[in-house]
Amino acid sequence: MIDGSTCNGKVTSGCGQNQVSVSAGAPTTEFSLGRAIAVDQATHIVYVPVIGDSDVAIINGNACHAGHTNGCRASILPLRMGGFGPFATVDPFSGTVYVGNNGDGDFSLFPDGKW
């Protein structure tokens, strides 16, 4: 996690700090963790597809951000996806999260912010 106000293209004073990471799945293989996350800009919920388990981990961005890392714990969404989800995206207009399912060419969807 990087504080963009102190580590960016113009200000680098905060770039040397130890960065916080959040475990979002059991790293049993190189394919265990999510590949492409989605962030709901309105609710600050972070969705992380867990490849290899058909799960989606969620992180509360309001409780987990630069300057406040005590709330950085991922939980697993209580829904199963239809396959290993390599990516997720949020449609802010419909309030829907889409997670791609590998191999079968379709996707899973669920309401955003209900967790």
On whether residue 15 sits in a domain, the answer given is no
Q: Are 83 and 65 in contact (CB under 8 A)?
A: no
How far is it, in rounded angstroms, from Cα 105 to Cα 85?
11
Q: Token match 């475990």: residue?
A: 23
Task: Determine the Cα angle at 75 with ends 72 and 80, to 5°.
Answer: 150
On whether residue 12 sits in a domain, the answer given is no
On whether residue 49 sits in a domain, the answer given is yes
On whether residue 43 sits in a domain, the answer given is yes
User: Over its length of 115 residues, how does the chain's per-residue pLDDT go in tens digits?
Assistant: 667 788 878 887 877 766 656 665 555 454 444 468 888 988 889 998 887 678 888 988 888 877 777 878 888 888 877 777 778 889 989 989 998 887 677 888 888 876 6
Report residue 87: phi and psi, to 5°: -150, 160
On whether residue 98 sits in a domain, the answer given is yes
Give the count of beta carbons closer than 10 Å to the beta carbon of residue 98: 18
How far is it, in rounded angstroms, from Cα 48 to Cα 62?
16
Residue 13 is which amino acid? Answer: S
How many domains does the chain divide into? 1
On whether residue 78 sits in a domain, the answer given is yes
What pTM did the predictor assign? 0.72
**Domain membership of residue 43 as a residue range:** 38-111
